[in-house]
Amino acid sequence: MNNTDDLPGNWGRWGDDDELGTLNLITDEVRARAAREVRTGRSVSLAVPIEPAPVYSGPFGPQSAEISPVQQVVAYTGSPAFATADVITVTNHHTKSTHLDALAHIVHDGKVYPGRPLGEAVSMGGVRHGSTTAFAAGIVTRGVLLDFAADGPVPVDRSITAQDLEAAEERHGVRVESGDALVVRFGWVETRYRGNPSPGVDIDAVRWMHDRGVSLYAGDLGDAHPPQFGSPSALHGVALPLMGMPLIDAVDADELASVCAELGRYSFMFVAAPPRIHGLTGVPVNPVALF
């Protein structure tokens, strides 16, 4: 991918040192719009549950375990024990973990958003540019769900296009505006990420997100797997590194879709406040939709 001329991008738009990317689009006005969505306090989690795998299970424990994003060591404190505690090892970009990608996660032509050389931004010693530090205060904005799975999962050979997004807006009676978090439902929570091919959004859909000013993408799927070689993945290959748009991978939007259908509205307050750990390339998150 040498020619990025016709790809949507924001390098330079908010300066050469910018680390927020499209989160810059979340203004006070956007947050006020988000606040107006909250009426009853009903809340819905968009995260899949993670069952940690025990690092040690003893001679009479299980012999094998499902591979988990989280490994756990549990301990008693004191003798007799007055407390219990644990230490966990977390794989930040695990396909079975709902997680928020920082902008330094993806390298484009030796650089990370907005054009910082990889070696300057990320080394063994840590991430100096484009890390989860950008999420320190939590992300609070308006969220919009576009649901493509009301009648069943999106087929594996179908891509979500810009036209599909607009048709969904029409169907739901909602319009994605600048600064909104876009939640997309493919209906693939049960079947995704088990080695099988899966559908995704296409580059025109990402161009549409750029035009509309989407601040963050959260989907139960995002890019098609396997990626089609020769063209970059629309979200991980273009939206994140070139537009500076954070992605929440592996959400579960099933309950959200039910609630939206029940309430007859597809917009809500959206809060994604992962642990305030700076300097990471990504971090597990439990996004919450508030109605």
Scan residues 1-40 and list those touching a copy of itself (CB under 8 A).
28, 30-35, 38-40
Among residues 227, 223, 226, the alpha carbon closest in space to that of 206 is found at 223
> Which residue, 168 or 245, has its beta carbon nearer to a copy of itself?
245
Binding mask 97-136 for a copy of itself (x = CB under 8 A): xx-----xxxx--x-x-----xx--xxxxxx-----x--x
The full 3-state SS of 176-215, as one line of letters, equals CCCCCEEEEECCCCCCCCCCCCECEECHHHHHHHHHHCCC
Question: Whole-number minimum distance, CB 152 to a copy of itself, in Å?
Answer: 22
21 near 247, Cβ under 8 Å? no
What's at 237, amino acid-wise? Answer: G
Q: Is residue 90 close enough to count as binding a copy of itself by CB under 8 A? A: yes
**Distance between CA atoms of 109 and 1, rounded to whole angstroms?**
8
> Which residue, 163 or 196, has its beta carbon nearer to a copy of itself?
196
> Which residue, 106 or 165, has its beta carbon nearer to a copy of itself?
106
- Which residues ranging from 153 to 172 are in contact with a copy of itself (CB under 8 A)? none
Which of 13, 84, 163, 173 contacts a copy of itself by CB under 8 A? Answer: 84
> Which residue, 30 or 182, has its beta carbon nearer to a copy of itself?
30
Which of 15, 60, 229, 230 contacts a copy of itself by CB under 8 A? Answer: 60
Rounded to the nearest angstrom, the gap between the alpha carbon of residue 45 and the centroid of all alpha carbons in its chain is: 13
> Which residue, 78 or 264, has its beta carbon nearer to a copy of itself?
78
* Dihedral, CA of residue 231, residue 253, residue 130 and residue 93, to nearest 10: -80
- Which residues ranging from 211 to 230 are in contact with a copy of itself (CB under 8 A)? 225-226
* DSSP-assigned letters across all residues of 218-249: EES--S-BS--TTS--IIIIIIIIII---EEE
